[in-house]
Amino acid sequence: MSLFTLPILEELNRADNKLSGQLQEFTNASSTLQSVLLHGNNLQGKLPKSLADLSTLMSLYLGSNNFDDSLVELELFGHLQNLTDLDLSGINMLIFDQIADSSRLFPSLTVLELNSCNLTTIPSFLKHSKNVEYLDLSNNRINGAIPNWICSSSLFYLNLSSNLFTSVEGSFSNSSTGSVFIDLHSNLLQGLIPLPLPNSILVDYSNNLFTSSIPFNISYYLKKTTFFSLSNNSLTGEVPSSICTATKLYIFYISHNNLSSSIPACLLESLIHLGVLHARENSFQGSMMAGICESNRSFVNLQIFDISSNHFTGSLPSECFKSMKAMMVHQGQMETIGYRDISLGLPYYQDTITVDLKGFEMKLVKILTTFTFINLSDNQFVGNIPQVFGDLKSLHCLNMSLNGFTSEIPRVLGDMSDLEALDLSRNQLSRVIPSSLTSLTFLEFLNLSNNNLVGRVPQIYKFSTFSNSSFEGNLGLCWSPLSKDCINSTSVEPSSDSKNAPAKFDMDEIWFWMFTGLGYGVGFAAVIIY
């Protein structure tokens, strides 16, 4: 006897297990079964059409299995009058938009998940639906414009990411209720940035072809937004200072654009909840943080700070880094950076970040809240490395390469007890390598190459494991792993014309070393990579 025919069964829940095998066709369908939750398993074969005979069904979750490539007609389930939740993610779907009255399909549906279903069009019945609040059509092949009726609908969750959409017909801000979760990343969207609703919590427009500037009044629509991403577009102009009134922002991505001028002075002073600022590969210029470090609230919750590959100049203001409290103390419980609102029924939305360490990019997901990262590389910073960096005891990665830093490597960097990666290459640092760096027991990557360092390379602890590439290009350095022997305790200071001006990254030089399963520390080794 099939479970789907049991006369008194009301709920079948075996979700997120390791069930395998096939679901067989059945007769005498149960007249009491209301909920079938079999998502997140390894079920195979064809999806039985007799599931559509479960007339009392309210929730059907079959996504994230391994059903075969046979096409399933979405309309097969459209006559189920009580069906409110439908998840067929990962199943090849066939949509018949020629149905005479598609408005009669799925009369009670509120949740529809059809991600990775090989769809090429938006199901037409959705245009007439008054009840759907949660719509996930991500990772399909739907092209053309996002229709106006979606933008003005009552959806509170809209995920159209990883499709082929080229434009947005309407504006989300015209909706009476509208989406609080808008994910349009990884499409081919062009033109103006669509304005979200003022009550939007998550807005992701990354990985598109937007070429406009950021609207000057964007902050009006970000009053409740915690996650806002515009990265990987071709945006121009300045970041409007009005962004500083978006005080709920926790994650702000503007990397990989053509944004210019400077980062607004009020940004990190006003956005006291900001944990992630990713602004790499733009055309920002001027002094890094002129005027924004006067308040003790600046930078206080910042965990990921990446302004690499811009045109910032001048020296680093110590005051800014003195406020980085989240990098000075251990954060306690390990969770992952992301967003979830249980009250709204939203799923967990994982933060992702692209890390460039020595010209090699990797996308990281499931980033621990204990993960801390500063990348100031490939700018035009000068002067000394501030002593305050020694106070950032919970920092996991520090990249200051490709700048014009001078003087010695501060001994206090040896106090950064959680440091796993340190790149000071291609600067103009001089004098000896401080022995205090040998106390960095979690250090798995070190690059001090192409500076003006002199003396012996330390031979104790982790330093004995680093290769020649960590120290090359310093004419005054000697001893293993370099081939140059030390005549005395130090070598001759290099001549003035041996100084290394900042240069571009060598894309063949990959310094991202983790993800080898060694399990060192709690930073990169705990990051899952896609």
Interval 423-432: pLDDT, tens: 999 999 999 9
Q: pLDDT value at position 330?
A: 65
- For 478, the enclosing helix (H) or strand (E) is strand 476-478
Q: pLDDT value at position 389?
A: 95
pLDDT confidence bin for 177, thresholds 50/70/90: low
As a whole number, mean pLDDT of residues 304-323 equals 91
As a whole number, mean pLDDT of residues 238-254 equals 93
Predicted confidence (pLDDT) at residue 398 exceeds the cutoff of 90: yes
pLDDT confidence bin for 369, thresholds 50/70/90: low
Predicted confidence (pLDDT) at residue 327 exceeds the cutoff of 60: yes
For Cα atoms 267, 268, 273, give the angle at the middle one, nearest 5 degrees: 110
pLDDT confidence bin for 341, thresholds 50/70/90: very low
Please state, as a whole number, how many other Cβ atoms lie within 10 Å of the Cβ of residue 138. 22
- For 320, the enclosing helix (H) or strand (E) is helix 318-322
Distances (CA, A) of 34 to 5, 47, 171, 245: 12, 18, 37, 46
Q: pLDDT value at position 476?
A: 94
As a whole number, mean pLDDT of residues 3-27 equals 93
As a whole number, mean pLDDT of residues 368-388 equals 88
pLDDT confidence bin for 493, thresholds 50/70/90: very low
- More confidently predicted of 324 and 404: 404
Predicted confidence (pLDDT) at residue 508 exceeds the cutoff of 80: no
Question: 48-57, 90-99, 169-178, 305-314 — which is least confidently predicted?
Answer: 169-178
Q: Retrieve residue 471's tokens.
A: 């120290």
As a whole number, mean pLDDT of residues 451-467 equals 90
Predicted confidence (pLDDT) at residue 519 exceeds the cutoff of 90: no
Write down the residue that tokens 């000071």 correspond to.
Answer: 424
Q: Retrieve residue 268's tokens.
A: 């990190």
Q: pLDDT value at position 293?
A: 63
Three-state SS string across 263-294, please? CCCCHHHHCCCCCEEECCCCCCEEECCCCCCC
> What single DSSP character describes residue 108?
T
Q: pLDDT value at position 246?
A: 93
CB neighbour list of residue 420: distance below 8 Å, 6 or more residues apart: 396, 397, 442, 443, 444, 445, 514, 520, 521, 523, 524, 525
Instruction: Report how far residue 399's alpha carbon sits from residue 246's, in angstroms, rounded to the nearest whole number.
Output: 29
Among residues of the chain, what percentage have pLDDT more than 70? 80
Q: pLDDT value at position 364?
A: 46
For Cα atoms 244, 247, 251, give the angle at the middle one, nearest 5 degrees: 90
Q: pLDDT value at position 97?
A: 64
Predicted confidence (pLDDT) at residue 178 exceeds the cutoff of 80: no
Q: What is the pTM of this model?
A: 0.85
Question: 159-163, 361-365, 421-425 — which is least confidently predicted?
Answer: 361-365
For Cα atoms 497, 502, 508, give the angle at the middle one, nearest 5 degrees: 115
Instruction: Report how far residue 410's alpha carbon sits from residue 318's, in angstroms, rounded to the nearest whole number.
Output: 13
Of 421, 429, 432, 433, whose CA–CA distance to 402 is shortest? Answer: 429
Q: pLDDT value at position 335?
A: 46
pLDDT confidence bin for 329, thresholds 50/70/90: confident
As a whole number, mean pLDDT of residues 224-236 equals 95
pLDDT confidence bin for 263, thresholds 50/70/90: confident
CB neighbour list of residue 349: distance below 8 Å, 6 or more residues apart: 181, 183, 202, 227, 338, 339, 340
Average pLDDT value over all residues in the chain: 83
